[in-house]
Structure 1
Amino acid sequence: MNSHAPILRVNALSVRYGKVEALRQVGIEVKPGQIVSVIGPNGAGKSTLLNTIMGALPAAGYAKGPVFYRGEDVSAMPVEKRVARGMCLVPEKRELFSTMTVEDNLSLGAYRRKRAGEHDYLDQLEPVFGLFPRLRERYKQLAGTLSGGERQMLALGRALMGKPDLLMLDEPSLGLAPLIVKELFHIISALRRTGVAILLIEQNARAALQISDYGYVLETGELVLEGPADDLAKTPRVIEAYLGLVKKIAVE
């Protein structure tokens, strides 16, 4: 695959829930090694966008418009096959196994690779500990006993155990204290060096744009702005709507 070609391309994607149109003619691209953020208010359709890309749209939803991953139209492909091709979604609710240990949650992240016959399916364990030293400290602890920040770290770590090529993050900073948010965004930024492409859905527009290469603004199901993240952060409309009243969390 051409390194300049998008790993993910969505063309004119529309999604309906009954008569309610959640997304209208949305088009986005993510290139290998890029961090691309989609910002916007609650109810804009951001989570719907990620779920549609992942093939996890609820049965009540209807999607129209191709989703290309590595140049292949995966629109009709089930979630399991998309995961097998290197797509991964960390949902807003994190969906950890609370009654299982950190160790077991991380191992489950590599289960697909184990089932595929990869003998070194746990080879990402040390890199994950390098990113999240606290997970090493909590390795034998039940996931349900972790703090909110540690649970988000575990959700990210579990996703990375599968060696995804495209990592989609739905509101990773939700409900976390500012210092934890700063640490988390440092780590997400550092993931760029691994070559993984990241599509980031985030209400903390300032923090998201600071670490992103490119950004989109989604409002009431439509893209209203897009551009290089630095330029977008200087746009009057973005400053007024998303940055003006948000306390700055520097992640540089």
Structure 2
Amino acid sequence: MTFLAAAVAMAVLAPTVSDAQTRRHTPPSPPPSAELQPVSLPFGEFCTKYQRQGADSILVGIDRTTRQIRTVDRNGTAATFADLRQVMRPGDRVIIFIVYEHATSRMMIFDDCVPGNSSVWTGRQHPASVIEHDTATFMDNVAKAQQRVLEPFGTRQSARSAIVTTLHGMVAQVNGPIKNLLLMSDLLDTEVMNLRPTELVDTYRRQQVIMKSLRQSHLIPSLGGTKIRIHGYGLSDDHVNNVYPPITQDVMTSIKEVWKDFFRQTGADLEPESFVN
């Protein structure tokens, strides 16, 4: 059954309410550059109509620090949005954002709620024809957001990648439970983790340097019970402008261990399939 059909069926049957070389570790970058332009997609168009009280949220993050549009970026983004379409349910709030070089320069490009739930105000079901129309509009906006995250953002190469601080900032903006975090990223956070594509991270550095620093800086968000899915890490392709060297398996394994420790500290629900490259 398609998502559209499922949403309509649920509405009818359920009347309850409810680095230019490698990335460099550099001083903090300035606020958003003029190259980053706001998106014209609607924000919250359907939340006042369908969002449940205490509704679950889904965070979708796309790492565009390289400014490039490589095969791995396209494939990882497609897989991430496919995951989104699988997990979202009527009433869920969906937030889509871009990871850039500093947490203040992130771009939230989509924030809306999945149609199909009872009316927020009356508790009554909306007519099936209305839900069908709203769901089609919502899905079209999600498709536009998927295109938007892969648009060129200028030619300037980012000096670093602010994955951790961006995640921390996004989680802080959400009221209520976050049921899914879907991320397309190479996981090379250079702002606070200082991860490099050619450097192995040993146990001491992972536990006594990186994780200790994150705890002391209060940069570990609360993601209790959140399911994690990550695409796009540890991969390279033959793009002519690909400035990053291939990441060896032992280095990537050590980087994954850093992120596993990070997500365990957040309380997230890590599963064997959480890391999908």
TM (norm. structure 1) is: 0.30
Larger Rg: 2
TM-score (norm 2): 0.28
